[in-house]
Amino acid sequence: MPRIDSKKGLRDPYAASRVPSPQTVSFATLGCKTNQFESAAMQESLQKAGFHIVPFDEGAELVIVNTCTVTNATDAQSRNLIRRARRLNSTCRVIVTGCYAQIDPDALHDLPGVSLVIGNEEKQRLLDYLKSDLDSTTVDVSDIRLAESVCLPPLTSFAGRSRAFVQIQNGCDAFCSYCIIPYARGASRSAPPDEILQQISELIESGYREIVLTGIHIGGYGADLQLPLTLNELVKRIELETGIHRLRLGSIEPTELTDELLETVASSQVLCPHFHIPLQSGDNNILQRMGRNYTRDVFARLVCKIGEAMPSAAICLDVITGFPGETDQEFENTFDFIKGLSITDLHVFPYSKRPGTPAATLPDQVPGNISKERAERLRHLAGEKHRLFAESFVGKDLDVVVEAGAKKGFLKGISRNYLDIRFPGESTLAGQCVWVRPIAWQDNVLHAELPPSI
């Protein structure tokens, strides 16, 4: 039985004839919705093969860690999860995949308990690896930049969630100076629209009331297809050709939120008025050094345009603090710019040096404590903006998808404009759409009540 060296992994020509013995398996997933989608696909394939999925804390015999490498912190979290898996079950086998595994497999290869490290393309063949004899740590990570297509795995469920994600695209061609993701995910490539519609239809048939379109760079969807298509054209097809109740868009670059797409969202009864837009900085000099192809004025006009078309829309921004060379004044420019925008929330990240990116070699790296202090100021600002946005809906009925996992008689629901709402109700409502009426903002949560008829 041939074994290729530890950098290339094991290939067993008879693997397909063997089925792994039933065993318990758990998943730990870090990072973006694309990772969460891919973990769900791996989990479904293992369930069909006879594996028993258990929570991570139960100490499974097999643990899959699907990693993220956006920051040093997520790298550390991935390593800690591997060590924790071994503490929970000292004999467990750990398989590591995802973006950290793609970028730096050697950092994971020697950790105790790791039996397999595979790249992002290889994770779709997870079951084949498990049918092979892995008697020592194997690494199989291909050159992701050679990937040319997206193959959607069969997926009819999304374990533990009332909302399902569908990956419409993978990879990125932007190469912002701070970002490692193009190296971890490869070139931008789109899933065929018919496959996307088929998967959405199957998820709807399984009872999902909300679908979230995800990818690494979904605003560029369709440009690489043999018959080019735009994201706007895709969402119109989804609305017309499926029985979808609610459709939500993942993160979209500001330059790709076209007038046509905004008009489609504004006029739709299906598309959620919720926009997740990477700003990254509110200072033009920083934006230029980041390799972002817009100015703060262009961004401000976009936010105004969204607000005018959809006054109740949620607008969440990504922001990086402490980019190399960011002065106190440049940060204040960002703070004041965001303070003046009608946005509803922020995702704030202190800059993290990623080896291999242009920004990692820039002079004047900002000390970590300063980056964190700036991040905390922005998070406080975000909290105030989100509170004001949430309180504006007190007394107004909202349609929510009820999440699973009621606690102490209270349910959690997500509104169309991405408000996290708590309300009393029976756990049997999980997965359904119900109307609620917010009554108060308390403990950083919008509380609501059900109409008497529920």
- Please give the pLDDT value at position 160: 67
**CB-based contact 187:171 (threshold 8 Å):** yes
Domain 15-142 has CATH 3.40.50.2300: yes
Pick from 52, 59, 63, 45: nearest CA to 22: 52
- Please give the pLDDT value at position 12: 38
E strand segments, 300-377: 314-321, 345-350
pLDDT category, 2, cuts 50, 70, 90? very low
Q: Which tokens sit at 330?
A: 């440049």
Sheet containing 345-350: give its strands across.
Answer: 274-280, 314-321, 345-350
How many residues in the chain?
454
The answer, yes or no, to whether residue 4 has pLDDT greater than 70, is no
DSSP 8-state symbol, 429? G
How many angstroms separate the CA atoms of 156 and 213, rounded? 15
Pairing of strands 345-350, 410-415: unpaired
Per the listing, tokens 């419409």 go with 168
How many angstroms separate the CA atoms of 127 and 213, rounded? 26
- pTM for the whole structure: 0.91
Cα-based distances in Å from 235 to 242, 255, 262, 269, 271: 10, 18, 12, 12, 8
The answer, yes or no, to whether residue 21 has pLDDT greater than 80, is no
The pLDDT tens digits for 156-202 are 888 667 899 999 999 999 999 999 999 999 999 999 999 999 999 99
**CB-based contact 290:329 (threshold 8 Å):** no
The pLDDT tens digits for 76-93 are 999 999 999 999 999 999
Pairing of strands 420-424, 410-415: antiparallel
Q: Which of 51-65, 195-209, 397-411 has the lowest mean pLDDT?
A: 397-411
Cα-based distances in Å from 338 to 120, 280, 315, 331, 333: 35, 11, 12, 11, 9
How many angstroms separate the CA atoms of 327 and 83, rounded? 38
Domain 163-390 has CATH 3.60.20.40: no
19 vs 183 pLDDT, higher one: 183
Mean pLDDT, the chain, integer: 91
- Please give the pLDDT value at position 350: 97
Q: Residues 6 or more apart from 399 whose CB is under 8 A from it?
A: 415, 416, 433, 434, 435
pLDDT category, 153, cuts 50, 70, 90? confident
Q: Residues 6 or more apart from 426 whose CB is under 8 A from it?
A: 406
| Three-state secondary-structure class, residue 45 | helix
Mean predicted confidence (pLDDT) in 286-297: 98
The pLDDT tens digits for 425-450 are 888 888 899 999 999 999 899 999 99
- Please give the pLDDT value at position 135: 61
The pLDDT tens digits for 94-148 are 999 999 999 999 999 989 999 999 999 999 899 999 887 666 678 999 999 999 9
Q: Which tokens sit at 285?
A: 């000099």
The answer, yes or no, to whether residue 332 has pLDDT greater than 50, is yes
